[in-house]
Structure 1
Amino acid sequence: MARPHDDVHLRHLIAATALGNAPAFRELYDATSAKLFGFALRILKKHELAEEALQEAYVSVWHAASGYQPHLSAPLTWMATIVRNKALDLYRRASADIELDPGQLDLDIVAAVPDGAASPQDRVQLSDEARALAACMQHLEGLHRQAIGLAYFHDLSHSEIASQLRLPIGTVKTWIRRGLDKLRQCLARRENV
């Protein structure tokens, strides 16, 4: 049984899955599903919805395994991105039934699946950067913060954000652009301190 953090073994399992090896896919599932289910549950907050997102994600992993590029991300990070996208798709389809505040910026979701290749020192730096980003986000106006959160933490397009916030798309684009400028300035000031 592979350990979820054994990147080399997981890369081999993904490569075998890309060739249609069902036992390798099963081993990949056994090695990663518990962690990825927890990740989906943190996003969706409901057990049955997290199960559905996970199932859809593994179907995508089966079909997309040949497209995995190990030099771009660790296996678990790649799979977590697929799970996150499936969870957000599910959220959009059933948004009336899910108790999720789209304006809540759950920054710990971003850090929930660290890159397995990162050293302990890199992880500390990433953690410090996440805290700095969270602090700077608090300085943005509420709707600007919500628009950026929906775009970058919930992976919504500008038109989806405009629809969700019931605003013109131009307004959303302006808020995101201005918000990102303010975040850059805030982060630069924090670096110079």
Structure 2
Amino acid sequence: MIDDLALRRLLSGIARGDEDMFAELYDLTSPKLFGLILRIQRDRALAEDVLQDAYLRIWQSAGSYAPDAGRPMPWLGTIARNRAIDSVRKAEVRRAVGDVGEDWEARLIDPRDDAATFRDRDALAVCLGRLDAAHRDCVVRAYCEGLSREELARLHDRPVNTIKTWLHRSIAALKACLEEVS
């Protein structure tokens, strides 16, 4: 068991920029925090990166630790846990966006299309290509795959209202672009 008073003293020193106290805190707490992160992240190399990120956040946030708000180890654990969860979510988004990747145009093709439809599809592809990648992904997934705003929000780790705004603005931009291109 790590002594709360020692951790509070170390966090106070870190808040003042004491690098030696930061090194001491790392030595005392990194095995526990690494274990916590590894249970969430499951990839040892990525867990090591998340641990480094967590300690960077601890260094930056030590001044915000309030001893009367709770014990220091759970506070440290919360930072580590949140960094690990963020890392997992970002990896999921990268994989999902990577799934759409460069073949988003292929999702628009229907072999039964006639020549006029091909021209319309080409114009749509040009206009979609002008959108931000994340916004384009939302539009393609919503309209070609039927994903809901809530599903897109989870996928992109954004609030539902942000996704709603992205879709609204992207559709408006597509409409204006299609009028210009056609």
Give the structure-1-normalised TM-score. Answer: 0.49
Matches within 5 A, 1:122-133: none
CA 1:61–1:161: 2 relative to 1, 3 Å: farther
In structure 1, what residue type is equivalent to 2:86?
Answer: D
Higher normalized helix content (fraction of residues) = 2
Q: Secondary structure at 1:163's aligned position in 2?
A: helix
Q: CA RMSD in A?
A: 2.7
**CA offsets, 1:30-50, max 9 Å, x none?**
000000000000011111111
Deviations 1:15-63, CA, capped at 9 Å, x for gaps: 0010111000000000000000000000111111111111001001111
How far has the Cα of 1:164 moved from its partner?
2.7
Spell out the pairing of 1:151-170 with structure 2 (5 A cutoff). Answer: 163-164=153-154, 169=160
CA–CA distance in 1 between the matches of 2:44 and 2:29? 17
Matched, 1:12 2:5: no
The residue aligned with 2:46 is 49
Give the C-alpha shift of residue 84 in structure 1: 0.9
Query: How many aligned positions are there?
Result: 106
Residue of structure 1 aligned with 2:79, choices 82, 88, 91: 82
Deviation at 1:165, TM superposition (A): 7.1
The alignment status of 1:70 with 2:60, answered yes or no, reads no
Q: Distance in 2 between matches of 1:26 and 1:5?
A: 15
Runs of 4+ in structure 1 deviating by more than 3 angstroms, as ranges, are 159-162
Identical positions, percent? 42
Q: Which runs of 5+ in 1 are unaligned?
A: 99-158, 171-193
User: Gaps spanning 5+ residues in structure 2: where?
Assistant: 96-148, 162-182
Task: Give the letter for the 1:163 counterpart.
Answer: A
CA contact (8 A) 2:2 2:28 kept: no
What is the deviation of 1:74?
A: 1.0
Aligned to 1:33: 30
Q: What is the distance in 1 between the residues matched to 2:9 and 2:151? A: 38
- State the AA in 1 paired with 2:153: S
Higher Cα Rg: structure 1 or 2?
2
Task: Please report how far the alpha carbon of residue 163 of structure 1 lies from its aligned counterpart in structure 2 after TM superposition.
Answer: 2.4
